[in-house]
Structure 1
Amino acid sequence: MPQAKIKEVAQYQPEKKPLFEGFLGSLYGVRKFNFFLGATVKCFWLVLVVVSVVVPRRLSENYRLLPTIKYQEHIYFDVENFCRYTKIIDYIIDEYFGQIPVLYIEALALSTTGLKVFLDKEFPFSVPGLIHVRNQVVQYKSLSFNEKLLVETKTADTEIRRVSRGIEFDLKICAYDKRNVLVWSAFCTFLAIYQNQNRKRKNLSRSEKCSEISFNHVASKKIFLSSDIGRKYAAISGDYNPIHLHPFLAKLFGFKSHVAHGLYTAALCINECQKLATDLNIKDNTFKFPYKVEVFFKRPAFLPNEVTISISRFLEESGTPKFLSLFFSMAHNDNVLLEGSIHHIETEDNL
């Protein structure tokens, strides 16, 4: 895309539209209130919440593998939605990183093909209350705004894991360009909360920890997460999971308040790493394509909250920066909310 067009997209400011405020409006987070559509969306989510809380699905002890469920769909990048996304994560378009933020595709995929997988009659878990606990993304090339991608979401060929609060399972998402070449992929782990499991907040997920490596701390930044950020991000991404929308709904699933979307907090961290890599002139060492982003969600980011993003750099023996490690922590008690890494990978390395 010509430089003038990149500038035009970056500077596009959609007109501000009033939000329908209040408890009922927060159930679906649409930007403009429409009574008939709004009533339908609210009833749909209320039914899902009641069914998932009152009549949770149960699996036999012999259940090990998810059924094979796969959906494909072409996605296009909408200018207004894209600009709202870049604004909410403070993303600046850069020719090196590409016009499309690395987690934007995943946000779109989970609200389209991902939602179809979750609502498939063969899918054994309830949609409301699903928690994103781990994420691995590989981007193979720079992506432009005018590309048309074929996105495929399917259940991964991995066994489910029974943990203290429920069951963990995996999804795999792949994006292909018009020549059917893989340009982006993700491996996502979710936690389905079960009513008959221990509801204590300790050890929310038994996701594996990042390797114990010594890092050189480089930068930190404090960010305030507003109470309505979950509803704003839901309106952009299409992820209306009740645990992100209102404290009352989140409490139905055992949370003390509503929580920020994991992909939103991860996008904030990655964005800050890209800014740092630009300032330190280490983009070729860290974000050289293909590169891999791994994120481990440790604890929920309750709203509202002030959090601190800490960035460290790991150095090889040769002294050449290989990858940046991301840390995202709550500032008031230094509890780590998520942590992860970004590093260049070999072409044959995949998810």
Structure 2
Amino acid sequence: MATTRTLDGAPGAATLYPRAVAGSYALPLLRRVPLVGPKGSRELPDLSFALQDVALDRGHVADYARVCGFDLRDALPPTYLHILAFPLAMRLMTDSSFPFGVLGLVHVENRIEHVRPVGTGETPSFTVRAEDLRDHPRGRQFDVVAVAEVDGERVWEGRSTYLRRGGGSGDGGERRERERDEPSAPPAAEAIWKVPADIGRRYGAVSGDRNPIHLHNLSAKAFGMPRAIAHGMWLKAHTLAALQPELPDAFTTDVRFKLPVLLPATVAFSSAPSAGGRTFEAHDAKKGKPHLSGSFTAL
């Protein structure tokens, strides 16, 4: 039977990340064991977390807009509700019933359905759940689904797809996955972005997503990265900010996260018209390696 736990307030990073570390395996530098592994049941819990009538802080919205590159408007940036739902997602994934440790999960895709603009004076309510645990050539995948409502009306929905590596299906799909990530001749850049070394800390401060792989080179190396990497959702937000004048009031946007952006970085951005919207890409400006591909389509 489905269970919904309604929280009195958003969980804080000070409690969430210690829970995440406790629920994952030890750091690779301390023990030579996989970072991810089974934490209990192999099934997703039939569990949701909810948060009601969240008051929006206009100053915080402005800070987020500046870090991501959005123009300041009366309506929220289309990715802003993701960071309000993120603490609920973390609370779900650090629950004792959740089958995987958080640290080491890879955010591979994100889909947002922006049903209508949400004003800074509105008070959205959130529900977050996990669903659709499935096999993947590199391991197992599942979706974390966040729904935002205002006065009972669904105004926004985000779906984040996570990969837990290990024990893949072995059906040849892994090779095809690698081929999709191989560098190809990128399209001509319409913008070149100099991504600073501190963008992980800046985005982490405004979003609450303080995963160690984004904050400092030393902490990133402790979790197997060569140096700190940019948040995938910062990169998605930054690409949508570049397209902000063209975004309709109601649209869906899908992105696939590819190779990480090692900080600092120089990233090339390109886009092209498509049926009902645009496609877009971000890739390494020097080597052409892909970081992100995506699109938006009017509803």
TM-score by length of 1: 0.69
1:298 is displaced (CA, Å) by 1.1
The counterpart of 1:171, out of the listed 144, 168, 188, is 144
Q: Distance in 2 between matches of 1:121 and 1:51?
A: 17
Matched-pair contact (CA < 8 Å) for 1:290–1:344: yes
The structure whose residues are more often strand, as a share, is 2
SS in 2 for 1:126: coil
Matched-pair contact (CA < 8 Å) for 1:219–1:310: yes
The counterpart of 1:309, out of the listed 253, 266, 269, is 269
1:259 equivalenced with 2:219 (yes/no): no
1:82 is displaced (CA, Å) by 1.4
1:204 is displaced (CA, Å) by 11
Query: Structure 1 residues 222, 48: closer, same or farther in 2, change over 3 A?
Result: farther
SS in 2 for 1:338: strand
Q: Distance in 2 between matches of 1:219 and 1:274?
A: 18
RMSD: 3.2
Q: Distance in 1 between matches of 2:63 and 2:161?
A: 26
Query: Structure 1 residues 207, 233: closer, same or farther in 2, change over 3 A?
Result: farther
Q: Distance in 1 between matches of 2:19 and 2:61?
A: 26
Matched-pair contact (CA < 8 Å) for 2:277–2:298: yes
1:295 is displaced (CA, Å) by 0.5
SS in 1 for 2:209: coil
Q: What's the % identity of the aligned pairs?
A: 25
SS in 2 for 1:51: coil
1:108 equivalenced with 2:84 (yes/no): yes
Name 2:101's counterpart in structure 1: 126
Matched-pair contact (CA < 8 Å) for 1:204–1:298: no
Name 1:300's counterpart in structure 2: 260
Name 1:155's counterpart in structure 2: 130
Q: Distance in 1 between matches of 2:95 and 2:17?
A: 20
Q: Could you list the runs of 5+ residues in structure 1 that have no partner in the other structure?
A: 1-29, 31-36, 198-202, 210-216, 278-286, 317-321, 346-351
Name 2:51's counterpart in structure 1: 73
SS in 1 for 2:121: coil
Query: Structure 1 residues 239, 84: closer, same or farther in 2, change over 3 A?
Result: same
SS in 1 for 2:141: strand
The counterpart of 2:209, out of the listed 239, 245, 249, is 239
Q: Which has the larger radius of gyration?
A: 1
Matched-pair contact (CA < 8 Å) for 1:129–1:242: no
Q: Could you list the runs of 5+ residues in structure 2 that have no partner in the other structure?
A: 1-12, 169-173, 181-186
Query: Structure 1 residues 146, 205: closer, same or farther in 2, change over 3 A?
Result: farther
Describe the superposition over 1:221-269 as per-residue Cα deviations: whole angstroms up to 9, x where unpaired: 1111111110111111111111111222222333222110011001110
1:326 equivalenced with 2:259 (yes/no): no
Matched-pair contact (CA < 8 Å) for 1:218–1:311: no
Query: Structure 1 residues 47, 143: closer, same or farther in 2, change over 3 A?
Result: same
Matched-pair contact (CA < 8 Å) for 2:20–2:101: no
1:270 equivalenced with 2:240 (yes/no): yes
1:208 is displaced (CA, Å) by 11
Q: Distance in 2 between matches of 1:99 and 1:193?
A: 38
- The residue type equivalent to 2:49 in the other structure is Y
- The residue type equivalent to 1:92 in the other structure is D
Q: Distance in 1 between matches of 2:163 and 2:66?
A: 29
> Which structure 2 residues correspond to residues 12-161 of structure 1 after superposition, within 5 A?
51=26, 53=28, 54=31, 56=35, 58-59=37-38, 63=42, 65-74=43-52, 75-94=54-73, 99-110=75-86, 112-156=87-131, 158-161=132-135
- The residue type equivalent to 2:89 in the other structure is G
Matched-pair contact (CA < 8 Å) for 2:16–2:94: no
Q: Distance in 2 between matches of 1:45 and 1:232?
A: 21
Residues matched between the structures, number: 271
Q: Distance in 1 between matches of 2:233 and 2:145?
A: 15
TM-score by length of 2: 0.80
